[in-house]
Amino acid sequence: MHRAAATQPDARTAERAAIRSRIMIFAMAAPLLAQCIMVVAMLTQGQWLFAVMIIPGTVGCLASLLVAVPWPSAASNHTAASMPQDRGISDYATTDVIDGSLAGKPAENIRFDAPASPCLEELMGFGRLPWRTIVARWLAQPDFAVPIGMSATGPLLIDLQRQGPHALVAGTTGSGKSVLLQSWCLALAAMNGPDRLNFVFLDFKGGSAFRPLEALPHTVGSVCDLDLTHAARALRALEAELTRRERLVAESRSHQLDDLTAPPPRLVVVIDEFHALKDQLPDYIGRLVRIASLGRSLGMHLIACTQNPAGQVSADMKANMAISICLRVRDAMQSIELLSDGRAAALSPAMPGAAYCNDCATVSALRCAATDDIDACCQQIALAARFMAMTPSPPLFTAPLPTQVEVTKQSPNCNRLWFGLADDGIGLASATVPVFSGNIGIIGPLGRGKTTVLQTIAQQACCIPATDVRCSILMRDGWQTTRRHNNPMPVSATQAAPPHVPRTLWLVDDADSLFDPFNTDPFASTFRQALADPTTSVVFAVASCRHVRVPEHCVTRIVFPCGDRSADLLAGIPAPLLACLSRNDLNTPGRGVLIDGANALLVQCAQ
């Protein structure tokens, strides 16, 4: 009686598993049947070329179907006879390491056993004073083999440097992907100091997953999908960092970054919801593919996380991702993509963190470790960095230009004057113009901030320390009054030497009519003579560049885009930079483009 009652749930479980298996086979057989019908129809109509094009896809569907069909074998019959066929994850009991020879075996015949994992703090052995344990590990040799969870044989260690260099994590919503990424990053940070390891976080799930980890001294950048402009800067910065490391290796004539005397820290780029990044920033995926192909020798690692690995990660990236961790997925095809069989689709939703790890040698079942208190762990790691007098790593990129920049007192320079902030697409720096190296044109429609730029340059020019520079500023207000300011000041020994020829600086607003060749105003003639005078620098503001000749009238320009592509290109804004300007850039007062010789930078002028 008791045996009959005990076997009844097993029979129901086996029946449910058989139904799921039939549904999966039907779902895979339907496309195969449709393609076969198309081939027959095309052969009947004599369209041989189209039929030949469809046949390879038909063969692929047939192969996938044959892999998914649970073929009976002596081994499986023996297993069925010796133990109940319960498909529930909570009732699986076998070893966690599955030999590669079982790849392709039906998922329902592969059983899972991994004990519940303790918290990360316990796995790392933090004890009562975690920062002391962290300091001791930072003083030892670099070690990237860290525990991420428990297997049947003990803590499961993943070495991103030796087993990687890159990893792909897959799992449906609620399976525990973000928790795994958090624990993995915290374990790496606890084993390696910020002088050996840095992080860049790309969170395309609103930024909630990595926000606590931004406090780590290892973090050199963190962005989310709420600001795609900032995310694009991060991807450009990663490509620039890859190029910089290539140059370091080439200049030292080494084979890899570790051969350098003082190599830069290893950089781990962690991407949550990779499919969202691909959808929202498709033009930047090539940069990540390049990191995946060259990162091993340059000390750069990728950990990409996605809900559906099938079709989302390109073959070029996947070829370099030797570590695959698959949590619970919705269908067998997603599991097959990473594990070569559908075992991860059988994981129970009641067990978040249950996963399989494929390192190309074995497939291990594990229960991922969670962190009891992420903020406390980050604080302990930061405390260890302060104890060792380690400064936080400098950011790899900065935030985009702000909408407003306050006028601040800058260190005086005899040759360049500050007027705002410049953005090279990765970082921000002071925007300056060479006032004694030629004329400067400020071009843009009314209301964009031309007069404000003139006023800022006038304020900065009054502070120029010089002995043989006649810093005379002629400001023309409403064509009626002029102001003249002489401010000779001694130059210190540490400052750049001023020009040897006395110079005059003119600042002229609303100078459009002065460029008109038919203007007979005496001041217009004086203005045109000043433009050609090598001892006079003219900073003029015009609404249109129709009469402005480059480089005769000016080499350096500050152009405020008007939104008309033809007019903006004519003013000198390069087409690639113009294509990057958003509607917000066009509507922000003071947002312009600094063109200094062959360089063009987006700038925000001080107000």
Lowest mean pLDDT among 4-13, 207-216, 424-433: 4-13
Distance from C-alpha of 264 to C-alpha of 252, rounded to nearest angstrom? 13
Q: Are 393 and 217 in contact (CB under 8 A)?
A: yes
| 178 marked ligand binding residue | yes
% of the chain with per-residue pLDDT over 90: 32
| 311 marked ligand binding residue | no
* Of 141, 206, 478, 166, the residue nearest 299 (C-alpha): 166
Q: Name the CA radius of gyration of the chain, rounded.
A: 33
Distance from C-alpha of 322 to C-alpha of 158, rounded to nearest angstrom? 11
Question: CATH assignment of 120-387?
Answer: 3.40.50.300
Q: Give the model's pLDDT for residue 222.
A: 93
Q: Give the model's pLDDT for residue 435.
A: 83
Dihedral sign computed on CA atoms, order 532, 536, 537, 539: negative
Question: CATH assignment of 416-490+498-605?
Answer: 3.40.50.300
Report long-range pairs for 311-314 (Cβ below 8 Å, ≥24 apart). Answer: 312/274, 312/275, 312/278, 313/168, 313/274, 314/285, 314/289
Q: What angle do CA 493, 440, 576 make, to 5 degrees?
A: 110
Q: Give the model's pLDDT for residue 47.
A: 78
Q: Give the model's pLDDT for residue 492.
A: 30
Q: What is the 3-state secondary structure (H, E, C) of 278-291?
A: HHHCHHHHHHHHHH
Quick: pLDDT tens for 122-153.
999 998 889 999 999 999 988 899 999 998 88
Lowest mean pLDDT among 299-308, 381-390, 403-412: 403-412
| 44 marked ligand binding residue | no
pLDDT score of 13 more than 60: no
Distance from C-alpha of 491 to C-alpha of 494, rounded to nearest angstrom? 8
| 57 marked ligand binding residue | no
- Length reported for the chain: 607
Question: What average pLDDT does this structure show over 63-92?
Answer: 44
| 104 marked ligand binding residue | no
- pLDDT class for 188, splitting at 50, 70, 90? very high
Q: Please report where in the chains the tokens 């006395």 appear, as a residue.
A: 502
| 174 marked ligand binding residue | yes
pLDDT score of 527 more than 90: no
Q: Which residue has the higher pLDDT, 205 or 464?
A: 205
Distance from C-alpha of 385 to C-alpha of 379, rounded to nearest angstrom? 10
As beta bridge partners, residue 147 has 157
Dihedral sign computed on CA atoms, order 253, 259, 261, 267: positive
SS3 call for 121: helix
Q: Which residue has the higher pLDDT, 283 or 431?
A: 431
* Of 602, 595, 590, 569, the residue nearest 454 (C-alpha): 590
Q: Are 28 and 64 in contact (CB under 8 A)?
A: yes
DSSP at 429: E
Strands 473-477 and 504-508: parallel
| 278 marked ligand binding residue | no
Residue ranges covered by each domain of the chain: 18-71, 120-387, 416-490+498-605
Lowest mean pLDDT among 3-12, 120-129, 286-295, 298-307: 3-12
Q: Are 511 and 527 in contact (CB under 8 A)?
A: yes
Quick: pLDDT tens for 350-383.
888 899 999 888 888 899 999 989 999 999 999 9
| 171 marked ligand binding residue | yes
Strands 300-306 and 266-272: parallel
DSSP-assigned states of every residue in 307-363? S--TTTS-HHHHTT--EEEEE--SSHHHHHHHHSSSGGGGS-TTSTTEEEEE-SS-E
Q: Give the model's pLDDT for residue 223.
A: 92
Report long-range pairs for 223-229 (Cβ below 8 Å, ≥24 apart). Answer: 225/273, 225/276, 225/277, 225/280, 227/400, 228/280, 228/281, 229/400, 229/582
DSSP at 173: T
Quick: pLDDT tens for 305-352.
988 887 778 888 888 888 999 999 888 888 888 888 888 888 888 888
